[in-house]
Amino acid sequence: MQAYERKQLLERVERESATVGADIPETITVQGEDIDLRTFVFEIKRRETVPAGERDRVEQAKRNLRRERNDRIELIEDGDITREEGEELAGSIIGIDRALNALESLGPTNLEREQKAQQAADTKRWMSFLQQALGREDDGASRRGR
């Protein structure tokens, strides 16, 4: 493969809009292990939140996908590959990026929601504590009449 062809492929995978319209690969080989990537991503995305037990699995999957993406980019940059192999690698990198985008969209949103819920619960406990400490158990209306 010529240097300019490598450059074109690398520019293609690094484009912001590269994943628009791209499909998540059905299966992908990551570090010698075949993974049903599309099924995994859709299974995780189907849930409203990622259960605590699944978070580690999702984070590990994201790390493995990033590592595999970098390995494939290195193959395009430095590997002894043909143009067709480079095209195939570029397509798989874009598919990995699409899967990563789907998995990343779960993280901050759910964490923010959990953080807000935690803060609301903390505020409620604090207000309850203050009411008890000040002798106002339920509401102050019943004590105002005295």
| Closest listed residue to residue 91, CA positions, set 17, 23, 3, 2 | 23
pLDDT score, position 102: 85
Alpha carbons 95 and 72: distance in angstroms, whole number: 12
**What pLDDT does residue 71 have?**
93
What are the phi and psi torsion angles at 91 (to 5°)? -60, -40
pLDDT of residue 111: 57
d(CA 2, CA 6): 7
| 144 φ/ψ angles, rounded to the nearest 5 degrees | -70, -30
Q: Please list the helix, strand and coil fractions of the chain in percent, rounded to the nearest 5, in that order.
A: 75, 5, 25
Residue 87 and residue 95: Cα distance in Å, rounded? 12
For the chain, give every domain's residue range. Answer: 3-105, 115-146
Q: Tens of pLDDT along the chain (146 residues)?
A: 888 998 999 998 888 887 787 888 888 888 788 888 888 888 888 876 777 777 888 888 889 999 999 999 999 998 889 999 999 999 999 999 998 888 887 754 455 666 777 888 888 888 888 888 888 755 544 444 54
Q: What is the pLDDT of residues 1-24, one digit of tens each?
A: 888 998 999 998 888 887 787 888
Please report the pLDDT score of residue 59 as a whole number: 85
Return the pLDDT at 119: 84
Q: What are the CA-CA distances from residue 134 to residues 43, 124, 138 (Å)?
A: 50, 15, 11
Number of other residues whose CB lies within 10 A of the CB of residue 30: 17
Is the pTM value of this prediction over 0.75?
Answer: no
Bridge partners, 68 (sequence order): none
- pLDDT at 146 (0 to 100): 46
